[in-house]
Amino acid sequence: MKSEEELINDLKAQIIEALSIEDLTPADIDADAPLFGDGEGLNLDSIDAIELVLLIEKQYHIHIDDPRTRRTILASVRAMAKFILENQKE
């Protein structure tokens, strides 16, 4: 099982790939910055949210049932990592 920090680094690279954010490197992404919201952090939108849900589902085999929980799960890269660690099967 990976540590939270290791997982955060994996996720940053996966996010850049999934959302084709060509102008950033993993080092440019602050793990605690909000992913969504006007002018904040990566400034992602609802299509990105769908892509991130797919990323978690495809890469980590975790299904997010309730769309209302997405905002919390996808709040930041760290939030994503914590959610994955909590829900990943041994």
Q: In this chain, which of 9, 10, 21, 33 binds another protein, going by CB under 8 A? A: 21
Closest contact distance (angstroms) between CB of 49 and another protein is 9
> In b/e form, how buried is each residue of 15-32, taking b as 16+ CB within 10 angstroms?
bbebbebeeeebeebebe
Residue 46 binding another protein, by CB under 8 A: yes
Q: In this chain, which of 4, 50, 59, 69 binds another protein, going by CB under 8 A? A: 50
Using CA atoms, how far apart are residues 58 and 67, in angstroms rounded to an integer? 17
Using CA atoms, how far apart are residues 17 and 9, in angstroms rounded to an integer? 13
Where does this chain bind another protein (CB under 8 A)? Answer: 18-23, 45-47, 50-51, 54, 57-58, 67
